[in-house]
Amino acid sequence: MAFPVPELAPALPEIFLLLAACVVLLIDLFWPGRQRSNTYVASQLSVLGTLVVLVNTYHGPTSALSGHYTVDAVALVVKAMALLIMFGVLLYGRDYLRERGLLTGEYLLLSLFALLGMLIMASAGSLLVLYLGLEVLSLSSYALVALHRDSSEASEAAIKYFFLGALASGLLLYGMSLLYGVTASLDLVTVGQLVGEHARSGDFSALLGLALAMLLVGVGFKLGVAPFHMWLPDVYHGAPTAVTAFLTTISKLAAFVLVLKLLVGVAAPLVQQWQTMLVILVVVSLAIGNLVAIAQVNLKRMLAYSTVSHMGFFLMGVLAGGAEGMAAALFYMITYVLTGLAAFGMIMLLSRAGFEAERIEDFRGLNRRSPWLALVMLVVLFSLAGVPPAVGFYAKLGVIRVVMQQDLLWLALLAVVFSVIGAFYYLRVIKVMYFDAPEEPAMALAPALDARLFMGVNGALLLGLGVFPAPLLALCRAVF
């Protein structure tokens, strides 16, 4: 297929990131610097450079490559958020990985290629490009989980993630192929229109129902909602914490894109069917996520089950539908990835060579050892629990409000009940930080200055957006 060169202009951010990743590869080969310092700096500059290109090349909604690639306001916001989050993931993980001998060129390159897959997904205008971006992201993620080759836990997590992820991707692909068989088109807009026509006429109802079920299973796996969450606790626990931070942020933004393009976009005419399925997923996720998290003593596993419940809250916004519901869902996802980045970033800052600060008891007496880090972690936990004035409160309030507008009062009440239950395991960590005596001898805390400053900015955002949520809310409403 031939296309004019100027048509590539909307894809300049992805092109820049791909070329920058190739430059990073050459730098790592010929001039890595001491302990990969040059490779790390080049990777961070690649991320920031992509962000600059993204902002400066956006001039309104447009499409390229015969409609396979589209750029709109939602894609712009999601891409910018992914780039900022990736900068934080690499910054938090730098010293953590370096102390374990894992800050390698492979880690940095795989992270950049996974980010590239995420950006491709955000601008996908066809089923083909959407799946291409998903596979670039997924294959890079499988390798990242197995980064620590000498760890049996990491190897086990990688194998589970790979096999279950391959199954989910296969189901998702088969669902897409059924849509293509029914509509004879790959374009997302065209497929959505033809699905609507067939749904109204009753044609291909069995095939459309089967395709919808497969799409929902694939999306549910990527989100990590119950009952498709079986991989989540083991992968979060077994992977290096820097990789876990990536999975709980960038991968969740990618799952948001899947929901937006497949359920809210292509399958919008089948809304009555998938709304019923989403109600079941929301209830099961809220129940399993909050109840099982109470029994966890490992903080990473606790945050994994917490993720299950948070994705249930996110789906409540999707369930409500419409511009208001999707705005609430986007607001929830943005605030969640900011909070998840800070939570796993704190684990990395408190860890040291030979010690993983991943158990709840490892935070014992943190306030006495570092009042500043304890305060930031307090804000993070308040946000996860949905306690004001942290931004998590307004995120949960937003999705509860939109489902109430859809006459789903019982679901809103159920969400409130499980949110109160979930507050217990977050408050348990706060109690350990502020009221328990530190271990003797106390662990020395000496995270790098730039990581501490970024953590302060991260915590300030969670608090500032909680006190002044209006600008972010207005942005989320404007893009829809």
For the chain, domain boundaries: 5-479
Q: What does the block give as tokens for 27? A: 């730098």
Specify whether the CB–CB gap between 273 and 293 falls below 8 A. Answer: no
CA gap 404, 413 in Å, rounded: 9
Sign of the Cα torsion 133, 242, 43, 27 reads negative
CA-atom Rg of the chain in angstroms = 22
Mean pLDDT of the chain: 90
pLDDT of residue 159: 92
pLDDT in tens, 393-420: 999 999 999 999 988 899 999 999 999 9
CA gap 29, 43 in Å, rounded: 14
pLDDT in tens, 188-236: 999 999 988 888 887 778 888 899 999 999 999 999 998 898 889 999 9
pLDDT in tens, 274-307: 888 899 999 999 999 999 999 999 999 999 999 9
pLDDT of residue 443: 54
Which range, of 293-297, 340-344, 439-443, averages the lowest pLDDT?
A: 439-443
- Picking from 329, 265, 303, the residue whose alpha carbon sits closest to that of residue 130 is 265
- Picking from 254, 220, 13, 262, the residue whose alpha carbon sits closest to that of residue 127 is 262
CA gap 341, 347 in Å, rounded: 10
